[in-house]
Amino acid sequence: MIDGIKGLLLRLMRVPPEPRTPSGSAGSAEVFRASRRYLKLKLLRWAGGQASTLFGVIAALVFLRLIGTGQIAVLDNINIPHKAIIFRFLGWAEIVAVVGFLVQLPVSLFLVLLDWEMRWYIVTDRSLRIREGVWQVNEMTMTFANVQEVSIRQGPLERLFGIANLRVRTAGGGASSSPGSQHGEDEQKSGHIGYFRGVDNAPAIRDLIMDRLRRLRDAGLGDPDQQPFEIEVPADEVSVGVLDAAHELLEEARALRRTVEP
C-alpha cells in the first residue's frame, strides 16, 4: 500500500524514481544512500515538531474554552446575538484545529519517509551526482576536475547516531563557512557545494572520491567538456635552428611558386 502511494505521488509530481548515472567509465559507478540511522534522526526531529504543535493546539483549545465559559472576560461587552455567532465560530475553530492536526500526522510522517528514501549519491571515476527532495527535486552534478575540497561535517546529534554529512566543494564555492550560516546556504544554492547527507560511511566515501580525484589528475585528464587551449611561445625563446628551417621552407615555397607561375 505504501509503495503504491509512493509510486502514485511520484508519477503525479513527475519525479523520476532514480537519477541517471553521471559521466564516467562503464562499471565505475557506485551508489550510496542515506543511512537508516539518518531516518531515525529525522523521525526524532519530526516527533519533536509534532509535540510542539500539539502543545500549541492544546493551549489554543484551552484558551478558546476559557473564553467560551466566560472565565476570561473578552466577550462581556459584546451583544448576546454577536456572542452566539462568536461561540459558534470558536466551536468550529476547535474542530478544525483538532482535525487538521490529526490529518497532517500521517501525511507529514509519510513525507519524512519519502524524503529519506529519495536521496541518491552516485560516484563514478570522473564525476559525482547528488539528488534529493520530493516537492522540490535538487540534483547536482560535479566533475572531479573542478573539486577543490572534500570534508566531513558532524554535529552532536550526528555523532550520537553514528552518521555524518560529507561536504564537497568545487571551484567558485568560496571559503569554508559554518553549516548553519546564511553564507553557506547561499553557496549551496549557487551549485558549488553538495552534501552527502546522513551517510554512515562518510570516511570511506571521502577516501573513494579523493582516490579517484588523484588518479584523474595523475593521468592528466580534465573536464571532458573543456575546450583545448593554445600556448604562445615568445619569439626570443624559439631556437635558431627552428628559425633557419623555417626560412629554408619559405625559400623552397617561393621557388616552387615561381616554377608553376606562367
pLDDT of 136? 82
| Model pTM above 0.75 | no
- What's the whole-number mean pLDDT along residues 6-27? 80
Query: What nine digits make up the cell of 186?
Result: 547561499
In this prediction, residue 105 carries a pLDDT of 93
245 versus 26: which is more confidently predicted? 26
CA distance 112 to 135: 12
Cα–Cα distance between 210 and 167 in angstroms, integer? 13
Phi-psi region of 48 (alpha: psi -120 to 50; beta: other; left: phi over 0): alpha
Per-domain residue ranges of the chain: 20-219
